[in-house]
Amino acid sequence: MSSWKMTGALVGALALSFAGWTLAQAEPKGAPASAVTQEQLNAAAKDENNFLHTNGNYDQTRYFPGKQINTSNVGKLHPAWIFQTEVKESMETTPIVVNGVMYVTTSFDHVYALNAKTGEEYWHYKHAMGPVTTYCCGPNNRGVAVYDDKVYLATLDAKLVALDAKTGSVVWQTEIADPTLGYSETMAPTAVDGKILIGTNGGEYGIRGFVKAYDAKTGKLVWTFDTSPENSVGVWATTDATGKDLHRDIAAEKAQLTKTGDPYKTVGGGVWQNPSIDLATKRIYFVVGNPSPDLDGSVRPGDNLYTESLVSVDLDTGKYVCHFQYIPHDLWDLDDTSPTVLVNAKDKDGNVVPAVIHGGKTGHVYVNSRKDCSLIRFSEPMVSQEGMYTLPTAEGARMLPGANGGVEWSPMAVNPELGLTYAVNLHQPMTYQVQSSPYPGGKLWLGGAFKVIATEASFGNVTAVDYNTGKIKWQVKTPLPMMGGPLTTAGGLMFTGEGDGWFRAYDAATGKVLWSFFAGAGVNAPPASYAIDGKQYIVVGAGGNTQIDFKRGNNIIAFTTD
């Protein structure tokens, strides 16, 4: 179920890779992979040679410390190599680079180990997909985690797989959850302290969300944190984090609660993206996605904790530390899917404190305290907000942002020198329609529909926000809604791609476009950077996007300046 995603246009590449494959059959050429230590993973933020985590480092800043490629020479950037994968479908992978070996993934859970200098293939793993896959928003995969001598992948059929980094063969595999109940995986795992952390998709299927930790060596489950507590009702909040009225009918919800009880077992709460790891306190921070069913609140009375919340748990035990909910009892799928970033930010009194930030589908960047999860501030809206929070109706009620945001799954990047965070946004007017149906046992459970309004313009933007003030520093409008995410570097740059195929470098301080490259397919994957033999590279996937139907491709493109 895989190579059929190729098209005729790729016959040449196909023939080539087929030849390579035959060769590999005769004489398997392993990757010269070196073991990754915990010390290396801890020090990733300062590593100018490797890209060891999906979001760069445990803080998830996506800030690369190398500055060989910088504002003065970025105009000379050109492809060093292009690798064509076998799968021409949505690409959301962040390439991981360890001592010259690059690991990339594709839709349908293929993993490639490549020579990061030449783009040559060392090995190719195709996951043997189980028959039932219940995923939302495309057959995506966002990448691998690396630790010791293994590479870790989570799959559409909800498996966690450990591969031998040298050969790509399976060391162990375990089922994270039952895919027939709506669980699936598209995120990259996180490797830390001998554990592999993983969340889950499934907020469109009535799951009970979680973050789980597995033993990296054996695949044994270490702990599970359920994202919905047995009492998910909360405080009957009537406003969101920014004080906007949610128009809840609390009396009706209370009556429903008496009738059907706490909905925690099917209330959703996926965790789409990697947690940030605070190495000093051994706490992890992550955001939890939407409640199920998305648009129909009548069957899930209460605040639906901890959906649409920031949550912190203890790294060693998975025990709850604190949470903060942004939209209690959400009816618009305006959830939190972009990963958290740890920064030091000014609190309300101007003291610099350990903070955790993320971009919401609402279009705000939220800044919370790491200590107790409380909200410090939220940014100016990065997108138009119109008619928030108009209740969904049977006919459909218009509202902005649409259900894709604001900021979708795309990670943010943080440039600590400038005190800026970069977020990519969508402007997609939608109508929100509500319909009610009982829990369907793992089948699609939307509670209605969100429809893009075809007669209205959709577009996007790249926004730099000062997280110490919440003010927008600069913003650049893009012709298409944005999905993918940025990378920022010590060279004063910020890189991000667009759905029409353009990949651009911006001046991180001003937003001026300094360089553009047309990749031929949507650049909807977050970029990474690394260096080999003292030469810095920027790398990005160009494969388009299923969810918003951007032009598909199968390219991994590495750039350099000479």
Partner 1 sequence: MEGPVLFYNGTEFEAMFHLPDPTSTKRAVLLVALLLMSGSAFAADPIEEKAKICTACHGETGVPQLKTTPVIWGQNEGYLFLQLRDLQSGARKNELMSPIAATLAKEDLLPLAGYFSKLKWPNLQQPEAPKDVAAKAQSAAASVGCPGCHLHHFQGDGSTARLAGQQREYLQKTMVDFRNRTRGNNPGMSDLMNATSSDDLTALAEYLAGLQIDQYLGSEHR
- Using alpha carbons, select from 137, 106, 52 the residue that is nearest to residue 410: 137
Euclidean distance between CA atoms 140 and 107, whole angstroms? 4
- Using alpha carbons, select from 441, 488, 497, 443 the residue that is nearest to residue 465: 488
- Measured from the CB of residue 159, what is the shortest distance to partner 1 in angstroms? 13
Annotation says 336 is catalytic: no
Q: How many residues bind ligand HEC (CB under 6 A)?
A: 2
- Measured from the CB of residue 304, what is the shortest distance to partner 1 in angstroms? 19
Q: How far is CA 217 from the centre of its chain?
A: 25
The residue (of 56 and 139) whose beta carbon lies closer to ligand HEC is 139
Interface with ligand HEC in residues 441-460 (CB under 6 A): 443-444
**Beta-bridge partner residues of 151:** 146, 163
- Measured from the CB of residue 547, what is the shortest distance to partner 1 in angstroms? 5
List Cβ neighbours of 471 (8 Å cut-off, separation of 6 or more): 379, 380, 465
- Measured from the CB of residue 130, what is the shortest distance to partner 1 in angstroms? 8
Amino acid occupying residue 314: D
The residue (of 90 and 340) whose beta carbon lies closer to partner 1 is 90
Q: Mark 369-408 with x for binding to ligand HEC (rule: CB under 6 A) and - for no binding.
A: ----------------------------------------
φ, ψ of residue 140 to 5 degrees: the values are: -75, 160
The residues that touch partner 1, with contacts defined as CB under 8 A, are 1-8, 89, 108, 129-139, 156-157, 179-180, 204, 396, 433, 435, 437-438, 440-441, 443-449, 451-454, 546-549, 552
The residue (of 126 and 443) whose beta carbon lies closer to ligand HEC is 443
Amino acid occupying residue 107: S
Q: How far is CA 116 from the centre of its chain?
A: 23
Please say whether the beta carbons of 501 and 551 come within 8 A: yes
Q: How far is CA 497 from the centre of its chain?
A: 15
The residue (of 68 and 134) whose beta carbon lies closer to ligand HEC is 134
The residue (of 79 and 479) whose beta carbon lies closer to partner 1 is 479
Q: Residue 492 binds which entry of partner 1, ligand HEC, none, with Cβ cut-offs from 5 to 8 Å by kind? A: none
**Beta-bridge partner residues of 198:** 212
- Measured from the CB of residue 132, what is the shortest distance to ligand HEC in angstroms? 10
Q: Residue 180 binds which entry of ligand HEC, partner 1, none, with Cβ cut-offs from 5 to 8 Å by kind? A: partner 1
The residue (of 74 and 430) whose beta carbon lies closer to ligand HEC is 430
Euclidean distance between CA atoms 55 and 238, whole angstroms? 34
Give the H or E element holding residue 11.
helix 11-26
- Measured from the CB of residue 122, what is the shortest distance to ligand HEC in angstroms? 36
Q: Mark 409-438 with x for binding to ligand HEC (rule: CB under 6 A) and - for no binding.
A: ------------------------------
Euclidean distance between CA atoms 406 and 401, whole angstroms? 6
- Please, what sign has the CA dihedral across residues 347, 279, 55, 401? negative
Active-site option among 47, 59, 262, 333: 333
Q: Which residues bind ligand HEC (CB under 6 A)?
A: 443-444
* Active site (catalytic) residues: 333
